[in-house]
Amino acid sequence: MEPLKIESTKSTPFVDFDPNRKEQYINGKSYPENPTEFFRPIVDWIKEFLQNSKTEVILDLKLNYLNTSSTKVFMSLFDYLESQQKDGKEILILWHYEKGNEMAKESGEEFKEDLNLKFNIIED
Amino acid sequence: MFDEEEEALARINEILLDENLKSSEHYESIKQFADQFYKILRQTKKLVRISDNQQKIINENNEKLTQLTEDLSREQVLSQKLLLNILPAKVAEELKMMGQARPVLFKSATVLFTDFKGFTKSSELLTPNELISELDQYFTFFDEAISLFRLEKLKTIGDSYMCAGGIPIQTKTHAVDCTLAALHFQKFMKTQSESKKGTGREAWEIRLGIHTGPVIAGVVGKKKFAYDIWGDTVNIASRMESSGEPGRVNISKDTYESIKDFFDCTSRGQIEAKNKGSIDMFFVDKVKEDLLDESGKINDKFEFLYNQIKETEATETKPFVERRKNLPDNRDQPTERRNNLFKYLSI
């Protein structure tokens, strides 16, 4: 399995996925013009990573801004991770936000609310 | 209307609990579909909530931004006002655009110096607060007055006030403007002096000196910007003040040549000025009789002559005597380009 590294742009976050470690990083703002095109390889990579008998993943997220489409993608991703946890995988979400960024903080709290996942909200 | 999702979810639950459906061969696929539908509904509700929250925060941030923009504009107006209080508008603009305001040679400008007689004596009799308050009263009047005469304040040095005409925007009327301002100052001092009579307070008198000639004007240095002028013209103007007399406006021959058609002057002959040798000096007595109306105010004829010089600011100056020949016969005839200043100016 190959690592996945995507440099950030004005509207897309930096992605740093490596199959040789459990921590996977997404960092930046997310309002891509074509969310499906941008997120498909990311979601596919995580699915493949977990299917390759990896039992533990730490998804380290620092997303300063998510537009509605990106929010929808992360909701689906978290639902998927929740289902994987039921299947015995160990999932941990680290949701970072910068001090003062109420929008990122509140989005994290909303995500966490209905999820049955370890979801830590961290002020940087 | 507001609980469509809840109603749909309740309906799905009802269908799934239906015993008849449970026995159906399609039950599992219906249940899967219902679960998926339930998930989509849940996501939609959450998405709307997150979007609403984001919008709320964006709106709050916009309000803060609007407030900050307003504060910034207010600060900009204040700093612009402050800058224009320190530097002439033209120079401030050049400084902002270019990062510097290079000194410019003005072939002809007029410099006015004032100095108070009695200041030193008053400084012994009055408290520092009283002294500064009195000085402030005079300088505030001068500050307000010079803008009427198109003059630029340069600085105060102790009890001395220095201003000039013809800079930083070149004018042709600067000598007349400075003389009018000097007489205006003098009149104010007399009024103040009369109001002090019987109060036991010492009246201040003013010496005024004017000279016309070339100056270099600009801003030097990097800190505490100040618009200033340099050249022998400044020194001679200062000598005109120091060689004058209290209550009189003392001018050089160069200034006299520029204003003699407007003002009656008395030649003082050649007078020794420190480091300058003997210089021709004149006292300005008053505005010429035929340039005043019955109430002693400047009349249309003065204004007509003045405007004729002013009009040449963008063109070559004709000999003044020729222009005087073209005066209207009726001196009371209103001039089209009436200068507001002259409507109330009484020197």
Q: How many helices (H) and strands (E) does chain A have?
A: 3, 6
Q: Cβ separation of B39 and A79 shorter than 8 Å?
A: yes
User: For the ranges A42-46, B40-44, B325-329, which has the lowest average pLDDT?
Assistant: B325-329
C-alpha–C-alpha distance, residues B257 and B272, integer Å: 20
Torsion on CA atoms A35, A39, A44, A46, rounded to nearest 10: -140
pLDDT beyond 70 at A24: yes
pLDDT computed for residue B23 by the predictor: 81
B50/A71 CB distance under 8 A? yes
Binned at pLDDT 50, 70 and 90, residue B338 comes out as very low
Who's near B238: CB < 8 A, 6+ residues apart? Answer: B113, B209
Q: What integer is the mean pLDDT of B29-54?
A: 84
Rounded to 10 degrees, what is the CA torsion of B93, B147, B342, B211? -100
> Is the Cα torsion angle B256, B258, B260, B264 positive or negative in sign?
negative
pLDDT at B346: 60
Is pLDDT above 50 for B332? no
Question: Which of B43, B51, B57 lies nearest to residue A102, judging by beta carbons?
Answer: B57
Are the beta carbons of A72 and B58 separated by less than 8 Å?
A: no
Q: A4-123 maps to which CATH number? A: 3.30.750
- The answer to whether B213 touches B236, Cβ cutoff 8 Å, is yes
Residue with tokens 């001039």: B335
DSSP secondary structure of B212-243: EEEEEEEE-SSSS--EEEESHHHHHHHHHHHT
The domain limits of chain A are 4-123
Q: Chain B residue with minimal CA distance to A101?
A: B57
Q: What is the pLDDT of residues B264-317, one digit of tens each?
A: 999 999 998 888 889 999 999 999 999 988 888 888 899 999 998 888 775 443
Place of tokens 């380290």: A60
pLDDT in tens, B113-139: 999 987 777 777 778 888 888 899 999
Element (H, E) at B284: strand B277-287
- CB-based contact (8 Å) between B32 and chain A? no
DSSP H or E segment with residue B343 = helix B340-344
Residues whose CB is less than 8 angstroms from the CB of residue A35 and which lie 6 or more positions away in sequence, other chains included: A67, A69, A70, A72, A73
Q: Please, how many CA atoms are within 13 Å of residue B19, restricted to the half-sphere of its CB?
A: 0
Q: What is the pLDDT of residue B3?
A: 66
Chain B residues with CB-CB distance to A72 below 8 A = 43, 47
d(CA B335, CA B328): 10
Q: How far apart are CA A62 and CA A15, in angstroms?
A: 11
Q: What is the pLDDT of residue A119?
A: 96
The beta-carbon neighbor of B47 closest among A68, A102, A106 is A68
- What ipTM, to 2 d.p.? 0.74
| Distance to chain B for A68, nearest Cα, Å | 6
pLDDT of A41 reads: 96
Query: Regarding predicted confidence, which is higher, B320 or B159?
Result: B159
Contact: A71, B51; criterion CB under 8 Å: yes
Q: Which residue has the higher pLDDT, A45 or B299?
A: A45
Distance CA B155, CA B26 (A): 97
**Dihedral Cα B335, B336, B337, B340, nearest 10 deg:** 70
Closest chain A CA to residue B49: A110
For chain A, say whether B40 makes contact (Cβ under 8 Å): no
Q: Which 83-122 residues of chain A touch chain B by CB within 8 A?
A: 102-103, 106-107, 110, 114
Say if residue B11's pLDDT is above 90: no
pLDDT one-digit tens code per residue, B190-216: 988 888 777 777 778 899 999 999 999
**Cross-chain Cβ contact B57/A106 below 8 Å:** yes
- Give A59-78 as a DSSP string: EEEEEEEE-HHHHHHHHHHH
Tokens 């803008």 found at: B147
Instruction: Name every chain B residue with its beta carbon within 8 A of the beta carbon of A71.
Output: 47, 50-51
